[in-house]
Structure formats: C-alpha cells, structure tokens
Amino acid sequence: MTEKTPFILIVDDEPDFLEILSTKLTTAGFQVEKAQSGSEAIKKAKSHRPDLMLMDIKMPIMDGVETFLKIKEDPDIDGIPVLFLTNLG
C-alpha cells in the first residue's frame, strides 16, 4: 500500500510569495495548488479537496478570515484544516 502525498492549497494575493512557498513545499514532497483570491480558493477547495489550506489574512475583496468563514459554512469543505499565514507586524 502506498501513502497518499499530502495535498496543500496555498492562498495568497502575492504571486511571488505563492511561487516561493509552492516551490519549497513541492521540493519537500507535497502536492501543491495555488489560489490568488478567496473566491478562487473556495472553488479549488471544492474541486481538489486539499488536506490543508495555507491562507493569507490580508487579501483584497474577500480576506482570509471571510474566506475561512465561508468555507466553514459549506458542508462539502468545512472539514478542511486552514492555517493562516501572514506577514503582519
């Protein structure tokens, strides 16, 4: 029996950060998908069902907290763990 590679969805509006974190996680052996907005994150969470979401708090239009609350309202994806990442001082 082979182990499933953990699948992580990274959500951040900064393309450079997405690329750096994606590269590091992929190199570490994780399967990675990226989203640049809260609405894109919700769509990708529904279609890809990640094992974990790494999400920025400060994003335009729908911030990370609002995105998190919408995920928790949706019974199809409310069980996905979400870890907030931010560079707030």
Task: Tell me the per-residue pLDDT of 28-49, one tens digit each, with 9 for 90 and over.
Answer: 999 999 999 999 999 999 999 9
Provide the strand spans (E) within the chain.
7-11, 31-35, 52-56, 82-85
- Cα 6 from Cα 48, distance rounded (Å): 12
- Give all strands of the β-sheet with 31-35 in edge-to-edge order: 31-35, 7-11, 52-56, 82-85
Q: What's residue 87's pLDDT?
A: 72
pTM strictly above 0.85: yes
Partnered with residue 55 across adjacent β-strands are 11, 84
Residue 71: pLDDT above 90? yes
